[in-house]
Chains A and B, each alone.
Chain A
Amino acid sequence: DAGITQSPRHKVTETGTPVTLRCHQTENHRYMYWYRQDPGHGLRLIHYSYGVKDTDKGEVSDGYSVSRSKTEDFLLTLESATSSQTSVYFCAISESGSTDTQYFGPGTRLTVL
């Protein structure tokens, strides 16, 4: 299995509070992604990164920001969490843009009350 960890694995928070999820990889892969998974929607891309300090938006980026200051870490921040952001969040990595196999982390289950 690819060396990907996510923290925390579970979090319950209240509406309006900031939340940061962390994805850590030990594979030295260039690309990192954040997805959310909700019933009836499948996985949807939030943001991705193609290198340190290089990020771009995905399909459902509103309400989320990301940062990547080191190759191994990709942070997802909910500046002011809302109940609609209750979801399971998955991080993924891939070695390069031309090698499209993405490997996924174990996920973080976030509940916003």
Chain B
Amino acid sequence: DAKTTQPTSMDCAEGRAANLPCNHSTISGNEYVYWYRQIHSQGPQYIIHGLKNNETNEMASLIITEDRKSSTLILPHATLRDTAVYYCIVRPSGGGADGLTFGKGTHLIIQP
């Protein structure tokens, strides 16, 4: 799996958009970008994933650069409950049963 680089921590004011960057400069053509988050003491929660195009769901938006070497997860209106560690993961489609490789992620702190 390609490696990812994320900032260790970020702050964001409640109600504002939280933009979390991820660098994946060695991503291959068949690798998807996945985002998960983990709120303290809970299991990782799936947020969103994409291959080339930007994606949006009820939780977030994923913006992938044209060269696919980086991406940004956007939480449009952050709340205190969005405080968590956010993980950016890349892995191939049809990857079978390989485990997910979680790096250190970004600790996002939403400030009231």
A residues with CB within 8 A of B: 31, 33, 35, 42-45, 48, 50, 56, 58-59, 90, 92, 94, 97-98, 100-107
Alpha-carbon gap, A33 to B94, bound state (A): 16
> CB < 8 Å: which of B93, B97, B103 contacts A42?
B103
Residue from B34, B97, B104 within 8 A of A31 (CB atoms): B97
Chain B residues within an 8 Å CB radius of A42: 101-104
Assess whether A103 is in contact with B46, with CB atoms less than 8 Å apart: yes
Q: Are A90 and B96 in contact (CB under 8 A)?
A: no
- Number of A-B pairs whose CB atoms are under 8 Å? 56
| B contacts with A: majority SS | loop
Q: A31-B97, A101-B34 are in contact. List 18 more A-B contacts (CB 8 A).
A: A42-B101, A43-B44, A43-B100, A48-B99, A50-B96, A97-B94, A97-B96, A97-B97, A98-B94, A100-B32, A100-B34, A100-B93, A101-B46, A104-B43, A104-B44, A106-B43, A107-B41, A107-B42
Count of residues in B whose CB is under 8 Å from the partner chain: 22
Q: Which residues of B contact A97 (CB under 8 A)?
A: 94-97
Q: What is B's interface to A at a CB cutoff of 8 Å?
A: 32, 34, 41-46, 49, 91, 93-104
CA distance A101 to B98 in the complex (A): 11
Complex CA–CA separation, A45 to B97 (angstroms)? 10
Min Cβ gap B104→A in Å is 7
Is B95 a contact of A102 with CB atoms below 8 Å?
no
Within the complex, what minimum Cβ distance (angstroms) separates B11 from chain A? 23
Contact indicator B103/A90 (Cβ below 8 Å): no
The verdict on A102 contacting B100 (CB below 8 Å), with A97-B94, A97-B95 known, is: yes
* B93 neighbours in A (Cβ, 8 Å): 98, 100
Point out the residue from B49, B96, B104 that lies within 8 Å of A101, measured CB to CB. Answer: B49
